[in-house]
């Protein structure tokens, strides 16, 4: 099973927002035991970095980045194909540019996108989505 985590999913995990955090922990354990492959776009990792930094400062953002690097998640670079595919998604759909990278990455990898972001959940006809929730 291949899964792409967007910034929403990563932040839910980092901030212990349930029930989403528990589901992310489950897929992290599956990846750790090689029963799943997890990915995140570098653009979405950057989104998490700046979001944490804005709320808690640069030091906490750097610590969060280190924590993410220790997880069994492959960080996917934004190559030319991904950038252009994300731009095409942005042209056709109402979503943020960063969200377009999450969807483009999932499509490129033929993976499920794990998110709770309403804009991405609406993309279920374009990308396979597993919907997360938080209380």
Domains and CATH numbers, the chain: 2-131 (3.40.50.1010)
Mean pLDDT of the chain: 97
Beta bridge partners of 76: 41
- Position 10 scores a pLDDT of 98
CA–CA separation, 116 and 66 (whole Å): 24
Tokens in use for 2? 């291949």
Three-state SS at 4: strand
pLDDT tens track for 108-131: 999 999 999 999 999 999 999 999
Report the interhelical angle of 80-92 vs 97-109 (nearest 10°): 120
- Element (DSSP H or E) covering residue 2: strand 2-5
Residues 6+ positions from 81 with CB-CB distance below 8 Å: 108
Per-residue pLDDT at 97:
95
Average pLDDT over residues 60-80: 97
- Average pLDDT over every residue of 49-74: 97
pLDDT greater than 90 at residue 96: yes
Output the CA angle 32-72-88, nearest 5 degrees.
130
* Residue indicated by tokens 């999932």: 106
């Amino acid at each position: 099973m291949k899964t792409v985590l967007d910034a929403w999913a990563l932040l839910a995990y980092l901030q212990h927002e349930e029930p989403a955090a528990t589901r992310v922990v489950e897929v992290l354990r599956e990846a750790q035991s090689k029963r799943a492959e997890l990915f995140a776009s570098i653009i979405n990792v950057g989104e998490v970095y700046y979001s944490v930094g804005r709320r808690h400062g640069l030091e906490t953002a750097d610590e969060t980045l280190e924590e993410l690097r220790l997880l069994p998640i492959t960080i996917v670079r934004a190559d030319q194909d991904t950038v252009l595919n994300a731009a095409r998604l942005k042209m056709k759909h109402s979503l943020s540019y960063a969200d377009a990278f999450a969807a483009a990455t999932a499509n490129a990898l033929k993976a499920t996108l794990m998110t709770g972001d309403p804009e991405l959940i609406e993309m279920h006809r374009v990308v396979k989505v597993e919907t997360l929730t938080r209380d």
